[in-house]
Amino acid sequence: MLVNMKTMLLEAQKGSWAVGSFSVSNMEMVLGVLKAAEETNSPVILQIAEVRLKQSPLELIGPLMVAAAKNAKVPVAVHFDHGLTKEKIKLALDLGFTSVMFDGSHLPLEENIAKTKETVALARKYGACVEAEIGCVGGSEDGSEDIAINCTSPAQAVKFAAETQVDALAIAIGNAHGNYKETPHLRFDILSEVKASVSVPLVLHGGTGILPEEFIKCRENGIKKINIATATFDSVENTVRNAYRDNIIKGYYDLQAAEVEGAYKNAMKHIEIFDCSNKAEII
Ligand code: 13P
């Protein structure tokens, strides 16, 4: 069933689990993620970022994501990730996405606040919720830019959350998009300070490559939404490559099945680490 992300994150705040937010770019990935969520009875978030629309136009993938969520046996939120333009954010809302992110992390604080407030005002008209980012997560969602990590200032997080009234706040604690060059070690000192000073559910971007024990520490300390993109794409690619190597793919439909399997395996692994199995009923 299609649900609002806020409902999930507020429930997750009552425990020590987090919701996986999986980036998808085709039907096979949607099917693989939902198969894992249904098998484990987990709430889940399907998302796509604005930079990915070159490959997967929003007018096509958006209705697919919303329809898949409505059909699912578990609660599914449909989220527009790293929204950059008002035009695409509005399109996502028109298509029925239940949340949108405005990413003004590269802007000066006051401008980020002002533009985020505009997004909140727009989303409220649709009954949708909003995520925004304070500080700057490293890398870029599609790997095209090598953006430096700028860790979140807890004082700025307090001001940002109070002035914008966002429903979810992405913070930078040493995390970056894409595959890390070295194993990342997150700044739990910053996470604790932010968690102690704001009540809004926190979001961790750049989930690919974070150690399981660090994910666990995150979900126990206020991170309630964890974004996974590269790991899904890598898992789909590797599963397809191995299936060809092992002569499992005899035709197109076997290729499609291998893609679904790749997205499913990756989602299963993360759902277990995030401890969101069997949380579907409480949403
Ligand atoms: P990864 O590609 O590192 O998993 O990051 C995903 C993400 O944060 C999407 O917004």
Provide the annotated active-site residues: 81
Other C-beta atoms within 10 Å of 189: how many? 11
Other C-beta atoms within 10 Å of 281: how many? 9
Q: Tell me the CA–centroid distance for residue 149 and ligand 1, in Å.
A: 14
- The model carries a pTM of 0.97
Residue nearest to atom 8 of ligand 1 (CA): 205
Percentage of residues in the chain having pLDDT higher than 90: 93
Q: Tell me the CA–centroid distance for residue 250 and ligand 1, in Å.
A: 32
The pLDDT of residue 253 is above 90: yes
Span 217-249, pLDDT tens digits? 999 999 999 999 999 999 999 999 999 999 999
Q: Is 178 touching ligand 1 by the criterion CB < 6 Å?
A: yes
**How far, in Å, CA of 77 to CA of 97, rounded?**
8
Q: Tell me the CA–centroid distance for residue 54 and ligand 1, in Å.
A: 17
Residues 6+ apart with CB under 8 A from 95: 58, 59, 62, 63, 66
Span 114-169, pLDDT tens digits? 999 999 999 999 999 999 999 998 888 888 887 778 999 999 999 999 999 999 99
